Amino acid sequence: MTIERSLVLVKPDGYARGLSGEVLRRIEAKGYTLVALAVTSPTREQLAAHYAEHEGKPFYEPLLEFMSSGPVTAAVIEGQGCIPGFRSLAGATNPTEAAPGSIRGDLGRDWGEKVQKNIVHGSDSPESAAREIAIWFPNL
């Protein structure tokens, strides 16, 4: 495996519950390095760019509304295999189905249809990571 970078977001639900520190602790405990870190209130333009592949889907507008509902903690992490590694650490998208020991399995709540309230986002590929990091950390 090669050293790679990934974008991690602690979403507004996780930020509001004070879980940023716990998420970052788990990332560092896994052996990944924090390269960049910011607490920010994302703009609609930033979110539209981030979620561009979902434009036109029924959940697109509710997702943008949710993600702009409060601050997020944005981080760039680095490490060997950190993209699949963080996604495993995050757990299944639906917190109810996420395994114990994962971020969503331990800290997530059952929000019914509002699966976007699942504490964290992690890039799903090297290409997505590069695109997302450029949106959230343009000077990196």
* Residue 32 to residue 3: CA distance in whole angstroms: 10
Check whether 118 is labelled as a binding-site residue: yes
Count CB atoms within 10 A of the CB of residue 30: 14
Residue 40 is labelled as binding a ligand: no
Active site (annotated) includes residue 50: no
Query: Does 44 carry a binding-site annotation?
Result: no
Q: Which residues pair with 77 in a beta bridge?
A: 6, 34
Helices 82-90, 20-29: crossing angle, 10 deg rounding: 130
Determine the residue type at 15: Y
Tokens of 127: 């290409």
Q: Which of 121, 123, 129, 136 is catalytic?
A: 121
Residue 139 assigned ligand-binding role: no
Tokens found for residue 37: 């870190």
Distance, CA of 15 to CA of 10 (rounded, Å)? 6
Find out whether 93 is annotated in a ligand binding site. yes
Q: Is 11 annotated in some ligand binding site? A: yes
Binding residues for ATP: 11, 59, 87, 93, 104, 118
Binding residues: 11, 59, 87, 93, 104, 118
Active site residues: 121
